[in-house]
Structure 1
Amino acid sequence: MTHIQLFNGGISRRSLLKAGTVALAMPAVLRPAFAQEKFVAKIAHTEGVGTPITEAFEKWAQVLNERSEGRIDAQHFPAAQLGGLSELLEGSRIGTIQATTAGPDSEEAIAPEIAAFGGAPGFIYTDEAHVDRVLQGELGQQASQIAREKTGVEFVAYAETGFRHVLSKEPVTALADLEGVKIRVPELRIWVDFWELLGASPTPLPYSEQYSALSTGIIDALDSDVFSILGFKWYEQAKHLTLTGHWFLPKAVRVNAAWLDGLPEDLQTLVRESAKEVFAEQRATNRAEASAALEELKGLGVEVHELSQEELARMKELTAPLFEEFSSKSPETAEMIEKIRALG
C-alpha cells in the first residue's frame, strides 16, 4: 500500500487530516453567525446628575442590561452629554438615540393634542392625584399612541420632575414683581405666551445654558422643579425661590418606535414593563423627597417665598385665555384639554 492508502472505504489519511483541520476551524468561522444579537440602547437626556429622574434612568439602564442578560446594551448619558433638548428629541425621532425624556408639551408643533399632557398651558393639573388619573389611565395610553403615529416615538412610561416654581435673583412676592423680569423659558411658544400674560419678559434658551445665563445677566430668573435647581446648582446664581406651582411637568419616557419594533418580542416586553416599574418608583421618590430638597435649598442660602391665594388666583385668571387659544389649534386638542380638566 502506498502513503495514500485508503481506509474505511476510501478516505485517505491526508484527506482526513485536512477535514479535521477544517472542522476545528469551523466553530471560529460560524460563531458570529450563532452569537446572540446585541441591541444598543443609547439613553440620553438633559436632566441633572443626582436628581431622582436621572437616578431612575441609571437604574433602568442597569435593569435592561441585567434582565436581558446582555442582549440589550443600555448606555446612559445624563445632563445633556449628547446634546440639548431639541437635538435629543430629534435623535429619538430618527433613531440616532433610542430613548430620552421630555414633557409632552415638546410636541406642541407636531401633535398639539398631546402637548397639554405636559402641563400646557399652565395650571391644567390640580394636584399629583390628578396627574395620575390622567397619565396612568386611558388618556396616557392614548397620548402614547398619538406620539407613535405622529412623531415616531412611544411613551413607554411617565416620569416627573414635579411642580415648577420661580427662582429669581430678586424676591418675587407678588405678581407686580414679575414685571419686566427676564425669565428663561423653553423654546416653545406656549411658554412664551404664558409669561408674557404675567408681565414678565420670557427669554427662550436651551436648558443647558441657564447657569451661565443667570451668571451673565442674560436672564434674571427661571422656573424649575426643586431637584433641578439643586442638581444644576442654579441656586448659586439666584437666591430667591417663589412657590407658585404654576406648571406640573410630567416627563414622557420616549423610545424610538422603529428600534422598539425591531427587538425580539421578549425584549419589547422587557423595555415596556421595566420602564413602567422603574418610573413608578421614580414618581413616588420624587414626591416623597420634594420637601427635603426644599429644606436643602434653604440650608444653601435660598430664601423661600409664597404668593398669597389672591395672587395665585390672579395668575390663573391672567393665563386662562391660553386654554381657549391652545384649544383652537385643532378640535382634537380642544377635546383632549376638556378630558384632562374633567379628571381634575
Structure 2
Amino acid sequence: MKYITSTLAGLLASAALVSAAAAADCEVTLRSSDTHPDGYPTVEGVKAMAEEVKTKTEGRICIEVFPSSQLGEEKDTIEQTQFGVIDMVRASFGSFNDIVPVTQLLSLPYLFRSEDHLHNVMDGPIGEEIGKSFEERDLVALAYYDGGARSFYNSQKPIASIEDLKGMKFRVMQNDVFVDMMAALGANATPMPYGEVYSAIQTGVIDGAENNYPSYDSSGHAEVAKYYTLDQHLMVPELVAISKASWDKLTPEDQAILREAARNSATVQRQLWADQEKASEEKVVAAGAEIIKDIDKTPFIEAMVPVYDKYVTTPEAKDLVERIQATE
C-alpha cells in the first residue's frame, strides 16, 4: 500500500511538473475551473476550446482546465473569476442567480420547448443580450453549453398526464420556483439533499424526484423509481465565462480567437451531452425502466400561469419571456 501511495504521489508530481513546463511555453496561461470530473461533457468542451485556441495562436495562449472542483465549488469559483483570481469558469446559470438577476428567468418551468429551442435562443440575439449582463459583474460570457433537461421519475406509476401527478410527493432542490411549480401541478414538493433521494424513494418517504437521464442513471435512482416521464420541465443553460480582468489583457485579435473557439466548443459539448443522454437512456431501459414519452405538455405549461405571474413581474422580464417563447 505504501508503494502504491508513493508511486501515485510520484505520478501526480510528475504530471504537475509536465503541466508547469507546458504552461511555461505559453505567453499566456488561462486557468479554467469546472466542478465536474475529467471526461464529463463540459470539461471536454473547454478542452476542445483550449486545443483550438492553442493551435490558432501557435501556442501563445494556453487554457489549463481544472476539473472535479479542484479550484472550488461553482459559486466560489465564479467569485474568484470575477476578481481575476481564476481566469475562466464553467458553471450552471443557476449558480449565477444571485449575481446576474436575468439568469433567474432561465430557470422558469417549461420556458424552453426542447433542447433545440434552447440552443436557438441562446445562440441568437437573446443569448447575446443576456451575455452582456455578465459584463456588469466583471465577467465576459463566451459560450453556452447544454445542461440537459430535467424530467419526473417515480416508483408508483406511469405519469402521462397532469392528473397523474395529483397528490404525489417529489423531491426538488431547495428553490422557491421548484416548490411553486410542484404546487401548480397539484403535487407535493419535498426539498431534501440529493444524497438522501435513493433511500427516501426506497422507503416510500417520497414517490419520486426529477432530473436528467445521466443523473437518473448514475445515481441509481432508476433502480427504485422505474417510471420516467419525459416532460422536460426544466432546461438550464451552462455558461463558459472569462474574467473581465483577464479578457482586457488580450488583444482584440486574441479575443476574437477565444470567442470563436468557445462557440465551436459548444457544438462539441452539446454532441457529447447528447451521446451521454442516449447512452444513459439505453442503460436504464435495459435495466427495466419505463420511459413515458407520448404526453401532451400543454396542460403542464398552462398550469404554470400562477408561477410566471409570481416571478415575471417587470415589463422587461415579461418582454424577455415573450421573446424567448416566440423564438422558433
TM-score by length of 2: 0.76
**Shift in alpha-carbon separation, 1:244–1:290, aligned structure 2, 3 A:** same
The aligned runs of 1:111-190 (5 Å cut-off) are 111-116=100-105, 118=106, 120-149=107-136, 151-171=137-157, 173=159, 175=162, 176-177=164-165, 179=167, 181-185=169-173, 187-190=174-177
Q: Who is 1:203 aligned against?
A: 191
Distance 1:170 1:76 in 2: 42
**Shift in alpha-carbon separation, 1:265–1:91, aligned structure 2, 3 A:** same
Q: Which amino acid aligns with 1:40?
A: L
Match of 2:256 among 260, 266, 269: 269
State the shift of 1:216 in Å.
Answer: 4.5
State the shift of 1:56 in Å.
Answer: 1.8
Q: Who is 1:255 aligned against?
A: 242
Structure 2 residue 306 is the aligned partner of structure 1 residue 321: yes
Q: Deviations over 1:91-127 (max 9, x none)?
A: 33333333333343444344333433x3x31111123
Q: Is the 8 A contact 2:90 2:241 kept in 1?
A: yes
Distance 2:87 2:180 in 1: 32
State the shift of 1:156 in Å.
Answer: 0.6
Q: Which amino acid aligns with 1:147?
A: F
Match of 1:303 among 290, 312, 318: 290
Structure 2 residue 89 is the aligned partner of structure 1 residue 100: yes
Distance 1:68 1:169 in 2: 53
Mind listing any 5+ residue stretches in structure 1 that lack a counterpart? 1-34
Structure 2 residue 67 is the aligned partner of structure 1 residue 78: yes
Q: How many residue pairs align between the two structures?
A: 298
Structure 2 residue 320 is the aligned partner of structure 1 residue 343: no
Q: Which amino acid aligns with 1:138?
A: P
Task: State the identity as a percent.
Answer: 22
Mind listing any 5+ residue stretches in structure 2 that lack a counterpart? 1-24
Q: Is the 8 A contact 1:113 1:332 kept in 2?
A: no
Greater Cα radius of gyration, structure 1 or 2 = 1
Q: Who is 1:5 aligned against?
A: none
State the shift of 1:274 in Å.
Answer: 0.6
SS of match in other structure, 1:304: strand
**Shift in alpha-carbon separation, 1:275–1:213, aligned structure 2, 3 A:** same
Q: Which amino acid aligns with 2:243?
A: N
Q: Who is 1:214 aligned against?
A: 197
The aligned runs of 1:9-28 (5 Å cut-off) are none
